[in-house]
Amino acid sequence: MRDKIVAGNWKMNKTLPESKALIKDIKNAIKNEELQNIRVIVAPTFVNLRSAVKKAKKSVVEIAAQNMHQADSGAYTGEISAEMLKSIGVKIVILGHSERREYFGETDSLLSKKVDQALNSKLEVIFCFGEVLEDRKSENHFKIVESQLKNGLFHLREKDWKHIILAYEPVWAIGTGETASPEQAQEMHKLIRKLIAENYNQSIANDVSILYGGSVKPTNAKEIFSKEDVDGGLIGGAALKADDFVALIQAIK
């Protein structure tokens, strides 16, 4: 059975003390919860990852990085390698977030290299993709998502898929307050699973967790998470307050 996942992407938010406090609050709020098959992941900024790993120890909270470089090491000023993340106890990395694609020029072909590098270093990958508003308006959204998956992930071997979490995030719904309807999310997630079944097999398609991202909040989470092919959420804004984030974890139970 595939995992349900609530993952918080903190983006460029939270100083070190704020980051520590938020992890502590989340930990305390969920310590007595039954979370069978439910994973809770948070992704603080690079400089706070080491402390986050320590703070989350002995709790169910897992720590992810928001990005990494595709090379092993070398003259790449300002960049962070997969091995660096591993060496401080980070086991998961978010790749291909739409903000990385849009503001930092990350392309499908670059992302496929990053995915390979992460998997080579035994990191689990949360791979993000999704269409922009114009694609949806012109009804190209299915084609765009298919090409993002094909170019970013469909070179992987069957066994690699155990280490992949997908996050469908329609760009028009990120940070805008506008959410895809539960039906729109389900429709896309179902297509994604079908594409994986066609390119690999049904068992891989059934086992991969597909998260929805884009203005998920306590008021809309239950309905979105209740859809058959939606296995949780990648959360931005609502992950920055412990109460909201914990409400999302409760919404998936």
224 lies in the site for ligand PGA, by CB under 6 A: no
Which phi and psi angles does 174 have, rounded to 5°?
A: -85, 120
How many Å apart are CA 196 and CA 248, to the nearest integer? 27
Residue 11's CB is within 10 A of a number of other CB atoms, namely 17
Q: Among candidates 212, 134, 209, 224, which has minimal Cα distance to 174?
A: 212
Which residue is nearest to ligand PGA, using beta carbons?
236
**Three-state secondary structure call for residue 127:** strand
**Least distance in angstroms from the C-beta of 190 to ligand PGA:** 21
Strand partners for 6 = 40, 233
Is residue 95 within the footprint of ligand PGA (CB under 6 A)?
no
**Pairing state of beta strands 164-168 and 124-129?**
parallel
DSSP 182: H
Give the C-alpha separation, 253 to 246, whole Å.
Answer: 11
Tell me which of 171, 235, 251, 252 binds ligand PGA, using CB under 6 A: 235
Residue 174 makes contact with ligand PGA by CB under 6 A = yes
Mark the segment that binds ligand PGA (CB under 6 A) among 67-75, 103-111, 198-206, 213-221.
Answer: 213-221
147-186 b/e (C-beta count within 10 Å ≥ 16 → b): ebbeebbeebeeebbebbbbbbbbbbbbeeeebbebebbb
Taking the complex as a whole, how short is the minimal distance between the CB of residue 200 and ligand PGA, in angstroms? 25
Among 6, 52, 64, 234, binds ligand PGA (CB under 6 A): 234
175 to 204, contacts with ligand PGA by CB under 6 A?
A: 175
Question: Rule CB under 6 A: is residue 8 a binding residue for ligand PGA?
Answer: no
Q: Does 251 bind ligand PGA (CB under 6 A)?
A: no
Q: With respect to ligand PGA, which residue has the nearer C-beta, 17 or 175?
A: 175
Asked if 9 is part of the footprint of ligand PGA (rule: CB under 6 A), the reply reads: yes
From 20-28, 43-51, 130-138, 169-177, give the range in contact with ligand PGA by CB under 6 A.
169-177
- What is the smallest separation between the CB atom of 240 and ligand PGA, expressed in angstroms? 9
The nearest distance, CB 131 to ligand PGA, in angstroms, is 14
Strands (E), 50-107: 61-65, 92-95
Positions marked active-site: 97, 169
Given the rule CB under 6 A, which residues bind ligand PGA?
A: 9, 169, 174-175, 213-216, 234-238
